[in-house]
Structure 1
């Protein structure tokens, strides 16, 4: 029997663009229970780079927990469309991050990715901002 689908919410934040940035990711099991919550200070980067780093952070957590079916939810329409192949990755700093995401996704049995409104991504946003705040403590 295959593992039920888990849901990954990720968000990147940059105070200034570029500016001090953080990444946040939360992984929920098929019953909606939080199985992993990660936040990370990223230093100086753009918001789009922070979005990619947050997705990488979340995918690493999913793989560590043995997740083989994943529904990925982001409030960055650009990143979602780039991962879907609908938009090209033109910015040079984003290309290696995109490649890393694709490498991680290849290790997950089945996955989907979709854009969601910011209001539905509050926990990941909270974790991304916590990542920025951790640096200043």
Structure 2
């Protein structure tokens, strides 16, 4: 796990116009956690833009399978990430998530590599610096309110 991980998100409207987002993660994360961060970040951006229907293509087969409930989450962190994705899914009228091979995800891969460069980003590419994970695992026993 290394800080400075990168992720790319491309949002394509029905008319074919594209919004490109490149994210730099400034915290330690596994490759799978980075894939979840990209998915969660992309869903949040789509929500902010008022998107109601979404077709998602991701190149992490594990993340796609876990979100689509074809594979179980083994670690508490993956469970937490998956739960966050499901909460965000409820904000859409329709959402589909499909796996694509990494070799077919050229634009997102280019965006992820772009953030490693220190020069200015190309026009129409938004760079996000993410300093904290989108989800946190609660440690220790769950605390309840004394009046509950």
Q: TM-score if structure 1 supplies the norm length?
A: 0.78
Aligned partner of 2:54 in structure 1 is 70
Paired with 2:116 and 2:7, the residues of 1 have a C-alpha distance of: 8
Alignment partners' CA distance in 2, 1:104 and 1:69: 12
1:39 aligns with 2:32: no
Unpaired stretches in structure 2, ≥5 consecutive residues = 119-128, 130-148
Q: Which runs of 5+ in 1 are unaligned?
A: 1-17
Q: In the alignment, is residue 26 of structure 1 matched against residue 10 of structure 2?
A: yes
- 1:104 and 2:97 matched: no
CA contact under 8 A between 1:38 and 1:57: conserved in structure 2?
Answer: no
Aligned residue for 2:98, secondary structure, equals: strand
Q: Which residue, out of 64, 78, 85, partners 1:94?
A: 78
Corresponding residue number in structure 1 for 2:45: 61
Residue 124 (structure 1) aligns with? 108
Partner of 1:5: none
Shift of 1:32: 2.3
The alignment yields a C-alpha RMSD, in angstroms, of: 1.6
Q: CA deviation at 1:101?
A: 0.9
Match of 1:49 in 2: 33
1:94 offset after TM fit, Å?
1.7
Q: Is the 8 A contact 1:23 1:57 kept in 2?
A: no
Please identify the structure whose Cα radius of gyration is greater.
Answer: 2
- Greater fraction helix: 1
Aligned length in residues:
117
* Higher strand proportion: 1
CA distance in 2, matches of 1:66, 1:119: 30
Q: Which string of whole-angstrom CA distances, capped at 9 and with x for unpartnered residues, describes residues 36-74 of structure 1?
A: 222221132110000000001110111111111110000
**Partners in 1 of 2:44 and 2:114 — Cα distance?**
19
